[in-house]
Amino acid sequence: MTRLGGFSVDQRAPRMAKTLPLTADWDLQLDAAGNLSLIDLDASLAQDVASAIRTFLGECWYDTTLGLPYFEAILGQRPPRSLVVSKIQREALRIPDVATAAVTLLGLKDRALTGVLQITRASGAAPITVTF
């Protein structure tokens, strides 16, 4: 349990069935009529994992242990690929309902860490591909 604004939050609570999708620029995505749209559980899970991977260690004020150590060990460094992969997989596994996580592609594009991660849900559903 994590304390958030005086409330206890179970980080392993059941996931919402739908969530708001983000664009490629990580902005809210609207439908053709200009309304907020929703995505299904698999896409929501993939988006949550990608968001976790993009989070810098200490960035979340309510839980400073979340995120990758970009400033401490990745950016401006030459860390071993295995270190980066293990940090990415660790963050992915923190997301509720993620049972396994395997990095299948890792690289730098325009000075940004990019990659592909294959995750499976605890329910045993088909694998989900996450691009970050």
Burial of residue 65 (number of CB atoms within 10 Å: 0-12, 13-18, 19+): exposed
Q: What is the pLDDT of residue 6?
A: 45
Question: For position 110, what pLDDT does the model report?
Answer: 83
Residues of the chain with pLDDT > 90, as a percent, come to: 55
**Amino acid making up residue 51:** S
The alpha carbons of the chain give a radius of gyration, in whole angstroms, of 16
Over residues 70-83, the pLDDT tens digits come to 999 998 888 999 99
CATH fold of the domain at 42-131: Nuclear Transport Factor 2; Chain: A, (3.10.450)
Overall average pLDDT of the 2-27 stretch = 60
Domain ranges of the chain: 42-131
Reference 87, options 130, 45, 52; nearest CA is 52
53 class by beta-carbon count within 10 Å (0-12 exposed, 13-18 middle, 19+ buried): buried
- At residue 99, the 3 state secondary structure works out as strand
Rounded to the nearest integer, the mean pLDDT of the chain is 85
pLDDT tens for each residue of 95-127: 999 999 999 999 988 888 899 999 999 888 899
What's the one-letter identity of residue 57?
L
